[in-house]
């Protein structure tokens, strides 16, 4: 990363902080004005960051990620419901198993300590 890129990223961070500071500085203003101050800081920071080499790599990666997400084959509603049902069933079975193991071990310890019936 070059010195210019470091300066640009530092400036982007400063712009982001200015937007956040504006939110608190404008505490007596309407909420819309305060949110717009933050959004303006974020937009300015994104613009400056985008002009740096790491920023360009990040935005290219983001664009590729969105494209990859569109290529994913998402499960149907039926598949999702069936998978959720199986997960709930397995949670119940494992919970019951652990309860039986815990109760058995507690009974065994009480028996060994002479407190059992």
Beta carbons within 8 Å of 42's beta carbon, 6+ residues apart: 16, 19
Quote the mean pLDDT of the chain.
91
The pair of structure tokens assigned to 106 is 């507690």
Considering the entire predicted model, what is its pTM? 0.53
* pLDDT reported for residue 78: 96
pLDDT at 22 over 70: yes
Q: pLDDT tier at 116 (50, 70, 90 boundaries)? A: low
- Percentage with pLDDT > 90 across the chain: 56
What pLDDT digit, counting tens, does each position of 61-88 carry? 999 999 998 898 889 999 999 999 999 9
């Amino acid at each position: 990363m070059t010195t210019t890129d470091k300066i640009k990223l530092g400036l982007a961070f400063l712009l982001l902080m200015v937007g956040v500071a504006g939110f608190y500085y404008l505490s007596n203003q309407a909420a819309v004005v305060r949110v717009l101050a933050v959004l303006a800081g974020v937009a300015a920071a994104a613009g400056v960051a985008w002009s740096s080499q790491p920023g360009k790599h990040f935005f290219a990666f983001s664009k590729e990620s969105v494209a990859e997400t569109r290529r994913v084959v998402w499960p149907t509603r039926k598949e999702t419901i069936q998978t959720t049902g199986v997960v709930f069933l397995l949670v119940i079975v494992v919970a019951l198993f652990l309860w039986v193991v815990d109760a058995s071990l507690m009974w065994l310890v009480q028996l060994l300590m002479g407190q059992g019936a």
